[in-house]
Amino acid sequence: MTDQADLAAVLHCPRCMRAGLALQRAGWICGGCNAGYPVLGDIPWLFADPQSMRAQWRGRLQFLVLSIEREVRTLRTELAGGVSVLARQRLELLAAAYEDHALRLAQILSPLDFAATNTGYETHLALRTRLPTDQGLTNYYVNLHRDWAWGDAENDAALALIRSVAERHVDWGATLVLGAGSGRLAYDMHMQCAPRLTVAMDFNPLLLFVARDVTRGAELELYEFPIAPRRLADHAILRSLSAPQPVRSGFYIVAADALRTPFAPEAFDTVVTPWLIDIVSEDFTSLAARVNALLRPGGAWINFGSLAFSQGTRAQRLSFEETLEIIGRTGFAQPAIGEQSIPYMASPASRHARLESVVAWCARKESAAPPAPAEGTLPDWIVLGDRPVPLLEEFKVQAVATRIHAYVMALIDGRRSIRDMARMLVEQRLISAEDAEPAVRRFLIRMREDSRKSGV
Ligand SMILES: C[S@@+](CC[C@H](N)C(=O)[O-])C[C@H]1O[C@@H](n2cnc3c(N)ncnc32)[C@H](O)[C@@H]1O
């Protein structure tokens, strides 16, 4: 990244949402409210609560490393117990790979200042953070290999479908890719569709730091752990990740939240949402309005991916037809649409692969949409630490559930049966006699399953 004036031209303070940002020695500074945003590992860290987000991702990294260490201990315990020759080979391969994997991840994520925390595994497990709990550092880890190690077939198919729906969108101008992940599509578009500027934005620092290195022309080595390995040696493969060539100038990687973006209104000619619209916590109407606000009049919204809405209320789990209807209601002209079945996450080392019937559209902005609701920053009682924590209704419910969970867990002493424990819950009037035994059984099944999920 050299001249950052073109990036500064599209940035806006994600906290006050009123003024632009300027790059100074300490990082990006808001010209209106004076809020500061650091640059971590060369990537602008433009979250409304930058320190809190850094701490949250650091916590996730620490939890990940602790989980990997636990997995290695489990593997070594099984090895010590005596296993067949082939099983020994496989478990030793995995144990060595996981140990090295943890070191590599910590190295890539060193700008998060990993050494700054020292929290136990159980504490991490108990204290979920504000990031959506389903968004861990390695949720989309496999995308890194798809983007930069497995060859071009999947990436080429994605770009070809997008170009077919966007054929009348001649000038990509300033292009924003929301939820860019490890960046291959943003890179391919920047290299092949000739935008003046491309901003690849995501909130996952692991994906972004890898994208930064490979797009600059570096080669990285990272392990792949395929879902269904073809052969014993495929259980852990150290892969080399690289881009076809270093990215040309005008390509920027930014860490930020798609629901509170650090960009000026109407700053972009093109906004791309690849595999994003159905996984964010926000309802689609608000997200469409947010995309609309980022586009100049006449700009194009290019969407690509599946339409598997599974969050929110039943009414928010949209069909394709409802999605199109909402695009029309949020200021976009009828889009050009393409649908195609393409291979998805087909690792050459795995027997598992998906075939996805993806949808791509290119919708031109005709008019402004009603503004999307502002996504809240963390309240003061969380950020400042010296304010009373409000006794919210949802906290009351959680508190009762947590007390019951803790009570049941404390009853486990190696001697009591499910029936004994159920009887004690009834004596404490925590549950009816009829419900007690099935409830304890269900709870223990879940605890057992949770504790077996390796999560690495
Ligand atoms: C299904 S992945 C798709 C990644 C990439 N676009 C691709 O096609 O491979 C969804 C991406 O959205 C990112 N993401 C999810 N919610 C986000 C948010 N609120 N802000 C920024 N990025 C987000 C995730 O980190 C992840 O990289």
Ligand 1: centre distance to CA 176 (Å): 13
Q: In testing the pocket of ligand 1, which one of 43, 276, 280 has its CB within 8 Å of the most ligand atoms?
A: 276
* Residue 390: predicted pLDDT: 85
Residue nearest to atom 3 of ligand 1 (CA): 275
DSSP three-state, residue 238: strand
* Angstrom distances, CA of residue 267 to CA of 6, 49, 291: 11, 22, 11
Ligand 1: centre distance to CA 398 (Å): 29
Residue type, 116: A
Nearest to 342 by CA among 160, 144, 139: 160
8 A C-beta contact, residue 246 and residue 261 = no
**Stretches in the chain below the pLDDT threshold 50:** 1-2, 127-131
Q: How many CB atoms lie within 10 A of CB 169?
A: 22
Both tokens assigned to 348: 């050459």
CA distance 370 to 185: 30
Strand partners, 44: 39
* Residue 129: predicted pLDDT: 44
- With a Cβ cut-off of 6 Å, ligand 1 is lined by 140, 143, 179-181, 185, 202-204, 207, 257-259, 274-276, 279-280
- 450 CB contacts (<8 Å, ≥6 apart)? none
pTM of the model: 0.84
Q: Which atom of ligand 1 is nearest to the CA of 274?
A: 6
CA distance 188 to 158: 10
Residue nearest to atom 14 of ligand 1 (CA): 179
Residue nearest to atom 12 of ligand 1 (CA): 179
Q: Which atom of ligand 1 is nearest to the CA of 258?
A: 20
Q: Which atom of ligand 1 is nearest to the CA of 282?
A: 19
* Residue 371: predicted pLDDT: 79
For residue 175, what is the enclosing H or E element?
strand 174-178
Q: Which atom of ligand 1 is nearest to the CA of 181?
A: 27
* Residue 401: predicted pLDDT: 75
Ligand 1: centre distance to CA 186 (Å): 12
> Residues 296-326, buried b or exposed e (16+ Cβ, 10 A)?
eeebbbbbbbebebeeeeeeeebeeebbbeb
Q: Which atom of ligand 1 is nearest to the CA of 207?
A: 27
Residue nearest to atom 2 of ligand 1 (CA): 275
Q: Which atom of ligand 1 is nearest to the CA of 204?
A: 25
Ligand 1: centre distance to CA 207 (Å): 9
* Residue 396: predicted pLDDT: 76
Q: Which atom of ligand 1 is nearest to the CA of 147?
A: 9
Q: In testing the pocket of ligand 1, which one of 133, 202, 210 has its CB within 8 Å of the most ligand atoms?
A: 202
What does DSSP assign to residue 182? T
* Angstrom distances, CA of residue 11 to CA of 5, 80, 106, 199, 331: 10, 56, 30, 10, 23
Q: In testing the pocket of ligand 1, which one of 139, 241, 275 has its CB within 8 Å of the most ligand atoms?
A: 275
> Residues 261-281, buried b or exposed e (16+ Cβ, 10 A)?
bbbbebbbbbbbbbbbbbbbe
Ligand 1: centre distance to CA 97 (Å): 27
